[in-house]
Amino acid sequence: MDHKINIVYFGQIAEGTGKQSEMIEAKELHNKSVREFLNQQYPGIDQYAFTIAVDNKISEICDPENTREIAVLPPFAGG
Amino acid sequence: MDHKINIVYFGQIAEGTGKQSEMIEAKELHNKSVREFLNQQYPGIDQYAFTIAVDNKISEICDPENTREIAVLPPFAGG
Amino acid sequence: MKKSLKEGQILPEFIADSIAKHQHKTNIGAHQIFLGQVRADLIDEKEVVAIEYTAHEEMAEQIIHEIREETFEKFDLTCMHIYHSLGRVEKGQICLFVFVSSGHRRAANEAIVHLVEAIKERVPIFGKEILEDGSHVWKQNTSLS
Amino acid sequence: MKKSLKEGQILPEFIADSIAKHQHKTNIGAHQIFLGQVRADLIDEKEVVAIEYTAHEEMAEQIIHEIREETFEKFDLTCMHIYHSLGRVEKGQICLFVFVSSGHRRAANEAIVHLVEAIKERVPIFGKEILEDGSHVWKQNTSLS
């Protein structure tokens, strides 16, 4: 099983990571929250406000093997 | 002194009086409220809701010698 | 004094022009627009086909002016426009156009509610609802509360 | 599913067309429109000249759809339209157009407040405020309360 998850970054967060998206192995999220994973990958990212959406639903937790996409969303600015 | 006052009627009230306006002698309003005067002139008019404006201000009382116009206003329906 | 009463329906193009005129005012962040449209209500099973508006025009303009002034004092607004039809307005046509602009949305929203209520309650405008058979009834505003 | 995100500014003519399309719906008595316009705010003494909007488009459309459904359930509305810009919108241009129609004014007003708040709070749209010297800051919505 080599399930992959697409992580997508937006706005200020994409600016910080230097990328709009990346594919990761589902197993990288075993025994680890999405936030922990992001902090390891991008030290200092936790200084920015962001919310996480798992397959288009705001959520801090995901079931890695059944997740298609994780979105890292900075504060909303619509309107 | 033959001061005259213009009485103006609108909407349903104008329909009832059969006229849009009429000039009256100021003295017809001595010792009498506007409403009393209207009831005498148009028996049954008090069955209709109306407000009175004296020179563009909503008021039940007027000083006849210093009044230019009395408006008889049925319920408002703007908008 | 700017006039608010105008003959006939208010056209969508007139509203668009009014919006476009505010695009150089770059301190505006929020516009609120209220439009009153003539409803084809059923009255005794007969449809309203139009409303004929009349007004005590001088008094109406004066009271709208007062409402404008008090609304500018009460809310932090950049612009305010009020137009009401006179004469015949057919069902589906627009008879009232209230437009406020502000830096932020809260003032614009509170102001528009205040304005629409004040216009309906205090401005001597009269409406004759013309029914499909040619008869008529007199419209009467009800308060929101 | 109807799309709400559209490239570039929202033109006054588009708004006029939308209004005109409602004139055959003769059960409508009240329209309320909210327009968001890009403000030339000063940030560290530099003027905002434009906002570049991006969004998680799939999620944004889905959440706008949810907001629409819940607003139709909560308020007695005839029609509802929501449009938000993507891409660059210059100062003074319109980036948000929310349009609700109802038989009576109270529902239209309450619905528009609900919609504008929900859109600002819940839809993943991001705004890069471009300053006059080419630098930028990231916009962040504040709640009304």
Q: The domain spanning residue A50 has which CATH number?
A: 3.10.20.30
Q: How crowded is residue C108: how many other Cβ atoms within 10 Å of its Cβ?
A: 28
Touching check for C123 and chain B: CB below 8 Å? yes
> Residue B2 has what pLDDT?
84
State whether A79 and D62 contact (CB < 8 Å). no
Q: Would you state the structure tokens that stand for residue C140, as one six-digit string? A: 């009467």
What domain range is A17 assigned to?
A: 4-73
For the four alpha carbons of D52, A13, D4 and D139, in that order, the dihedral sign comes to negative
Q: Considering the domain boundaries, does residue A79 fall inside one? A: no
Mean of pLDDT values over C27-52:
97
Neighbours of chain B (3+ CB pairs under 8 A): C
Considering the entire predicted model, what is its pTM? 0.95
Q: Considering the domain boundaries, does residue A37 fall inside one? A: yes
Using the predicted structure, report yes or no on whether residue C145 has a pLDDT greater than 50. Answer: no
CATH value at residue D15: 3.90.1170.40
Q: Which of D15, D21, D102, D79 is nearest to C14 (CA)?
A: D15
Using the predicted structure, report yes or no on whether residue C93 has a pLDDT greater than 70. Answer: yes
Q: Considering the domain boundaries, does residue B79 fall inside one? A: no
Q: Considering the domain boundaries, does residue A42 fall inside one? A: yes
- Side chain identity at residue D29, one-letter code: G
Q: Considering the domain boundaries, does residue C144 fall inside one? A: no
Strands (E), B10-63: 21-25, 51-54, 57-58
Please state the domain count of chain D: 1
Q: Considering the domain boundaries, does residue C143 fall inside one? A: no
Distance from CA of C34 to the nearest CA of D (A): 5
Q: Cα B64 from chain centroid?
A: 12
Q: Considering the domain boundaries, does residue B47 fall inside one? A: yes
Mean of pLDDT values over D4-8:
98
Q: What is the pLDDT of residues D9-67, one digit of tens each?
A: 999 999 999 999 999 999 999 999 999 999 999 999 999 999 999 999 999 999 999 99
Q: Considering the domain boundaries, does residue A29 fall inside one? A: yes
Give the DSSP letter string of C2-23.
Answer: ---EEESPBPHHHHHHHHHTTT
Mean of pLDDT values over D90-96:
98
What domain range is D43 assigned to?
A: 5-20+28-138
Q: Considering the domain boundaries, does residue A24 fall inside one? A: yes
Touching check for B78 and chain C: CB below 8 Å? yes
Q: What is the pLDDT of residues A51-75, one digit of tens each?
A: 999 999 999 999 999 999 999 999 9
Using the predicted structure, report yes or no on whether residue C120 has a pLDDT greater than 90. Answer: yes
Q: What is the pLDDT of residues B53-66, one digit of tens each?
A: 999 999 999 999 99
> Residue D141 has what pLDDT?
87
Find the chain C residues whose C-beta atoms sit closer than 8 A to any C-beta of D: 12-13, 15-17, 19-20, 22-40, 91-94, 101, 103, 105-106, 108-109, 112-113, 116, 144
Of B53, B73, B77, the CB nearest to C139: B77
| Contact between residue D29 and residue C36 where contact means Cβ atoms under 8 Å apart | yes
Q: Cβ neighbours of residue B11 under 8 Å, at least 6 residues apart?
A: B73, B74, B77, C54, C126, C127, C128, C138
Q: Considering the domain boundaries, does residue C145 fall inside one? A: no
Instruction: Quickly state the pLDDT bin for D142 (edges 50, 70, 90).
Output: confident
Using the predicted structure, report yes or no on whether residue C143 has a pLDDT greater than 90. Answer: no
Q: What is the pLDDT of residues B7-55, one digit of tens each?
A: 999 999 999 999 999 999 999 999 899 999 999 999 999 999 999 999 9
State whether D40 and C26 contact (CB < 8 Å). yes
Please state the domain count of chain B: 1
Give the DSSP letter string of chain C.
Answer: ----EEESPBPHHHHHHHHHTTTT-TT--EEEEEEEE----EETTEEEEEEEEEE-HHHHHHHHHHHHHHHHHHS--SEEEEEEEEEEEETTSEEEEEEEEESSHHHHHHHHHHHHHHHHHHS-EEEEEEETTS-EEE-------
Touching check for C124 and chain B: CB below 8 Å? yes
Q: Considering the domain boundaries, does residue B78 fall inside one? A: no
Touching check for B79 and chain C: CB below 8 Å? yes
